[in-house]
Amino acid sequence: MILTKQYRCIHSSSCQCTKGHLNEDVIFLVFQHLNWNPKLIATLSCVCKWFDDLAKRVLWKEFCKTRAPKMMLDLQSSGSHSVDGNWRALGKLLIYCSGCSVGGLFNSTQIPGHFVYRTRFSRTSGKSFLLPQCRTDVLYVSDPCEHLDQGEEGDLGFFRGIFKSFLVSKVRKMLIDRGAQLHPTAACPYCKARLWNMLQAKMVPQSASCRLGAYEDCIEYYVCLNGHMLGICTLLPLSDTEEASESE
């Protein structure tokens, strides 16, 4: 794939490369050879505004399409050439567990955010996080990122996800109809948009804890204005998890 469309250069006066820079096609081919390495894309974004714009428009998109091709094809099947919250945010969601902090969004123990090598996102699993009247929505949810032996908190799992076409989803409509309040201070760690608490809105179905293998009263998750989801749960011991799966 060779880029043909030309974009206005958006160098700032402080850029060190104002006297000329590599052609977009060349950068595309270099990163294609590097298999769209996310760390290198992030490093390139820090060079100047022009490289940051290129990364947002092209490189993160190609990274997402390479990392989760079927998921990306589905998210774009409505005809959009972009995704809710931009490609960089989605790229980060695919590979980054946001963790938590004392007094933070989940008011839990201190677990730093970190990159994950590989995570499976499932549309089928996403159905378990939706109330019956919202199950025509499309939601992809990851397997929980496990952080074991967290003292009094027990074994914690962090999960994340993304809605397809969130602006026209039944979940968003229900949140608005119920008058759900946005979190006063916290923002989505992926796109910086404001967040709805699904637990406060009473929109966490019992099937979510069964899917995660977690205690029913120890699961909480948020959805941002762009449809990104992030949550935390306390995981059941392995033997209890197997029994929960059988009952489901």
The reported pTM is 0.84
Query: Do 67 and 132 lie in a common domain?
Result: no
Query: Do 66 and 125 lie in a common domain?
Result: no
The rounded distance, in Å, linking the Cα atoms of 94 and 207 is 23
Q: What percentage of the chain has pLDDT greater than the value 70? A: 83
| Residue 55 included in any domain | yes
Q: Which of 92, 13, 84 is nearest to 59 (CA)?
A: 92
| Residue 139 included in any domain | yes
* Residues 110/121, Cβ–Cβ less than 8 Å: no
Q: Which residue has the tokens 């955010």?
A: 113
Query: Do 138 and 228 lie in a common domain?
Result: yes
Query: Do 145 and 222 lie in a common domain?
Result: yes
The total number of structural domains that make up the chain: 2
| Cβ-defined contacts of 63-70 (< 8 Å, 24+) | 63/36, 63/38, 63/87, 63/91, 64/90, 64/91, 64/94, 66/35, 66/36, 67/36, 67/91, 67/94, 67/95, 68/94, 68/121
| Residue 4 included in any domain | no
Query: Do 29 and 136 lie in a common domain?
Result: no
Integer angstrom CA distances of residue 31 from 36, 65, 66, 87, 107: 5, 13, 12, 16, 39
Range of the domain at 39: 24-73
Query: Do 168 and 225 lie in a common domain?
Result: yes
Query: Do 156 and 229 lie in a common domain?
Result: yes
Q: pLDDT digit string (tens) for 219-245?
A: 999 999 999 999 999 998 866 555 555
| Cβ-defined contacts of 33-38 (< 8 Å, 24+) | 35/66, 36/62, 36/63, 36/66, 36/67, 38/63, 38/91, 38/95
pLDDT at 116 over 50: yes
Residue 178: Cβ within 10 Å count: 13
Straight-line distance from the first to the last Cα atom of the chain, in angstroms, rounded to the nearest whole number: 45
Query: Do 58 and 162 lie in a common domain?
Result: no
| Residue 67 included in any domain | yes
Q: Which run of H or E residues covers position 95?
A: helix 87-95
Q: pLDDT digit string (tens) for 121-161?
A: 999 999 999 999 999 999 999 999 998 887 777 889 999 99
Query: Residue 82: its pLDDT value, please?
Result: 59
| Residue 200 included in any domain | yes
* Residues 223/198, Cβ–Cβ less than 8 Å: yes
Q: What average pLDDT does range 188-209 have in this prediction?
A: 94
Query: Do 58 and 140 lie in a common domain?
Result: no
Domain finish residue from 73, 89, 104: 73
Query: Residue 178: its pLDDT value, please?
Result: 94
| Residue 85 included in any domain | no
Query: Do 144 and 213 lie in a common domain?
Result: yes
Q: What percentage of the chain has pLDDT greater than the value 90? A: 62
Query: Do 200 and 132 lie in a common domain?
Result: yes
pLDDT bin (cut points 50, 70, 90) of residue 85 is low
Q: What average pLDDT does range 32-46 have in this prediction?
A: 93
| Residue 244 included in any domain | no
| Residue 50 included in any domain | yes
Query: Do 50 and 125 lie in a common domain?
Result: no
Integer angstrom CA distances of residue 110 from 14, 106, 215, 222: 38, 10, 20, 18
